[in-house]
Amino acid sequence: MLIDAGISCRETEKRMKRLALAIGKVKAIFISHEHNDHINGMRVLSKKYQFPVYITKGTQANGRSWVEKHLVRRFKPHEPVVVGGLTITAFPKFHDAGDPHSFIVSSAKTRVGIFTDIGVACPQVIRHFKKCHAAFLESNYDEDMLMNGSYPYHLKKRISDGRGHLSNIQALELFKKHRPAFMSHLILSHLSKNNNSPELVSNLFAKHANNTSIIIASRYEETAVYQVSGDPSHARTVKPIRIETSRQQLSLF
Task: Tell me the pLDDT tens digit for each residue of 44-91.
Answer: 889 999 999 999 998 888 877 678 999 999 999 999 999 999 999 999
Question: How far does CA 144 lie from the centroid of its chain?
Answer: 25
Residue 151 to residue 140: CA distance in whole angstroms: 15
Query: What is the pLDDT at residue 247?
Result: 32
Phi first, then psi: what are they for 240, rounded to 5°? Answer: -60, 140
Res. 242: pLDDT tops 50: no
Residue 70 to residue 192: CA distance in whole angstroms: 36
Q: pLDDT (tens digit, 9 = 90+) per residue, 92-112?
A: 998 878 789 999 999 988 999
Query: Would you tell me how many other CB atoms lie within 10 Å of the CB of residue 252?
Result: 20
pLDDT top residue among 170 and 5: 170
Q: What is the band of 248 on the pLDDT scale with cuts at 50, 70, 90?
A: very low
For 180-231, give the DSSP string: -TT--EEEEE---SSS--HHHHHHHHHTT-TTSEEEE--SSSPPPEE-----
Mean pLDDT for the stretch of residues 24-42: 82
Mean pLDDT for the stretch of residues 213-229: 89
Query: What is the pLDDT at residue 231?
Result: 66
The percent of residues in the chain predicted with pLDDT above 90, rounded, is: 59
Mean pLDDT for the stretch of residues 127-151: 97
The residue length of the chain stands at 253
Query: What is the pLDDT at residue 252?
Result: 33
Query: What is the pLDDT at residue 238?
Result: 37
Spatial CA neighbour of 189 closest among 222, 238, 225, 149: 222
Query: What is the pLDDT at residue 61?
Result: 84
Q: What is the band of 213 on the pLDDT scale with cuts at 50, 70, 90?
A: very high
Q: What is the band of 6 on the pLDDT scale with cuts at 50, 70, 90?
A: low
* Contact criterion met (CB below 8 Å) for 168 and 142: yes
Contacts of 163 (CB under 8 A, 6+ apart): 94, 95, 96, 119, 120
Tell me the average pLDDT of the chain: 86
